[in-house]
Amino acid sequence: MDEPQAGALAAVAALDEPTRRRLYDYVVRQPAPVSRDDVAAALSVPRATVAFHLDRLVDAQLLAVGHERRTGRTGPGAGRPAKLYRRSDRQVTVSLPDRDYELAGHLLATAVEEAGESGGSPREILALRARELGRERGAAASDVVTVLEAHGFEPRAGDSAVDLGNCPFHRLARAHPGLVCEMSLALVEGMLAGAGPEGLTARLDPRPGLCCVRLTS
């Protein structure tokens, strides 16, 4: 499992504890950051328990923390700043097996937008942009298997071919197989080109339970 997915699972697991989930739900529904005392009073939970769970949520990057003197005073005698908690900017998405509809949406929206400006074919632009992105991601990886794994394709090497055990765009591919499989093929072709000579060629080979793209030597 890649690190982003593992981190997302850890974040979700942090909310499995009932009291911690209650505290999280309370904090994120408030219009302004809240203190430990605010949460303890609102939920009738001991302050020490509140402090423990809120800081665990900060560790999981689900909450962000700031400091503020709520008395409005400054200087000596103003007291220590209070810790104030709010929802963090982190977005957590967990999918098993891996899905990446955000990437597909980005590529599709880019293609439509560019086609509207240039008058070109959205389908051709989609393949071009997917191939460019794949090449960029492949060049940043140590080898093609690594980049395929990082993007949820689940490569399974055989004697003369590499099957891709998962389609990161599964629901889209089922609804629009021609368009999305062409996009996947272009993306994988770019990954192969970016990762360097591997002696592999990507081609469409749809089979049940696998990605529509297969790598052959």
Same domain for 73 and 137, yes or no, is no
182 lies in the same domain as 135: yes
- 142 and 209 share one domain: yes
Q: What's the length of the chain?
A: 217
* Judgement on whether residues 70 and 127 belong to the same structural domain of the protein: no
Q: Are residues 113 and 152 in the same domain?
A: yes
Give the integer Cα–Cα distance in Å for 160 and 178: 26
Cβ neighbors of 55 (< 8 A, separation 6 or more) are none
Tally of domains within the chain: 2
Based on the fold, state whether residues 202 and 119 are members of the same structural domain. yes
Pair (131, 174) in one structural domain: yes
Which domain CATH number covers 50? 1.10.10.10
Q: Token digits for 181?
A: 């499989």
Neighbour count for residue 113 (Cβ, 10 Å): 12
Q: Which of 64, 87, 110 is the last residue of a domain?
A: 87
Other CB atoms within a 10 A radius of the CB of residue 130 amount to 25
Using CA of residue 179, residue 180, residue 184, residue 185, what is the dihedral sign? negative
Structure tokens belonging to residue 177: 């197989």
Q: What is the pLDDT of residue 4?
A: 61
Picking from 62, 87, 112, the residue at the C-terminal end of a domain is 87
The CB density around residue 197, as the number of other CB atoms within 10 Å, is: 8
Q: Is residue 94 part of a domain?
A: no
Domain stop point among 33, 59, 87: 87
Q: What is the pLDDT of residue 1?
A: 42
Closest CA to 19 of 121, 47, 30, 88: 47
Evaluate whether residue 43 is within a structural domain: yes
- Residues 40 and 125 grouped into a single domain: no
**Predicted pLDDT at 2:** 47
> Containing domain of residue 144, as a range?
101-216
Domain shared by 62 and 34, yes or no: yes
One digit per residue, the tens of pLDDT, for the chain of length 217 reads 444 666 777 888 888 899 999 999 999 999 999 999 999 999 999 999 999 999 999 999 999 999 887 655 555 555 678 899 999 988 877 777 789 999 999 999 999 999 999 999 999 999 999 999 999 999 999 899 999 999 999 999 887 889 999 999 999 999 999 999 999 999 999 999 999 877 899 999 999 999 999 999 8
Residue whose structure tokens are 């505290």? 23
In the prediction, which pLDDT does 158 show?
81
Same domain for 128 and 26: no
pTM here is 0.72
Can you spell out the DSSP letters for the chain? Answer: --HHHHHHHHHHHHT-SHHHHHHHHHHHTSSS-EEHHHHHHHHT--HHHHHHHHHHHHHTTSEEEEEE-TT---STTS-PPEEEEEE-S------SS---HHHHHHHHHHHHHHHHHH---HHHHHHHHHHHHHHHHHHTSSSHHHHHHHTT--EEE-SSEEEE---TTHHHHHHSHHHHHHHHHHHHHHHHHHH---S-EEEE---TTS-SEEEE-
C-beta of residue 148 within 8 angstroms of C-beta of residue 137: no
